[in-house]
Amino acid sequence: MATYEELAKSLYPNMPLDILDLFADEWARTGDPQVAIAEVRRSPAYEIAFPGNKRPDGTVKFDEVTYTSLKESYIGTLQEYGIPRNTSVDLLTDRFTGLIEGEVSAREFAQRVDATFQGIQENIPEVQEFYASNFGLELTPEAIFIGALDPTVGEEIVAGRITTAQIGGEAARAGFSITGDLAQRLQRAGVTQAQARQIFTSAELQLPQLQELQAQQGIAEEERFGLEEFTEAAVFQSPEEIQQIQRLREEQASEFAPTTGATRTGRRVTGLTEL
């Protein structure tokens, strides 16, 4: 016989785990899933997990499955216009809450997004020039677009959060999961989205080769080169990591593609060069 946890997950497969556990406990206590979900909706944890979903009288606007699907549809629409998922989640949480509060349908949101895109696409070069001149930022069209969707994100753009999110997105695209600290370090070093793509693509190709060479030398797996060591050499020009790569190459029978690094002026990346 299925447990209440299993039954709860079958009803709400995408519900946050803490809410799912609370629902299962209430179901076990009351014996009625409808009473259980009503109790869950009155909990403080529900407000955090499903912001914007409750009316002043305490009733909900969408059931939890519909809420999750609607939010995913917002994110999916933005992905169609080149906005990575992690960027949307990182920067537009408040925006999504407002859409839920306004009970904006997936179709209406798609229409709004298209209208916004049509309204700014001809002005993107001018906006890029403005940010470059006033803030020293090289914004992609996607960053400008997301700023137009939510004007409050303009301040986040200046603070570098959009670039940070895009760096994380480029890492994920190459199969890496990076920490927020590393993404911020790269952003502060002036790495643009295009440069991040080049760095992580290079890492995707070359890290397995470096790790294989280290394995042949008997270096333990946990001590082999990882993404952080690669970026220390490629972006921050760490002498220690660069020397390790050079030693590995010298011992390799045949050469492979050179690691790309970054030359810097102050804290700004000015271009990518070979080590």
Please spell the DSSP secondary structure of 141-181, one letter per residue: HHHHHHHHH-TTHHHHHHHTHHHHHHHHHHHHHTT----HH
For helices 4-11 and 17-30, give the axis angle rounded to 10 degrees. Answer: 120
Place of tokens 């999750």: 68
For helices 193-216 and 227-234, give the axis angle rounded to 10 degrees. Answer: 120
Q: What is the pLDDT of residues 173-212, one digit of tens each?
A: 888 888 878 888 888 888 887 888 888 998 888 888 888 8
Contacts of 271 (CB under 8 A, 6+ apart): 262, 263
Averaged over successive runs of 10 residues, the pLDDT of the chain (275 residues) comes to 84 90 94 94 93 92 94 93 83 88 93 87 80 77 82 70 76 84 83 85 86 81 79 77 75 53 40 39
pLDDT of res. 158: 66
Q: Are 178 and 171 in contact (CB under 8 A)?
A: yes
pLDDT of res. 103: 93
Q: Are 190 and 267 in contact (CB under 8 A)?
A: yes
- Closest to 154 measured CA to CA, from 137, 170, 169: 137
Predicted TM-score (pTM) of the model is 0.57
pLDDT of res. 116: 85
What does each C-alpha distance from 68 to 50, 123, 128 come to in angstroms? 9, 34, 34
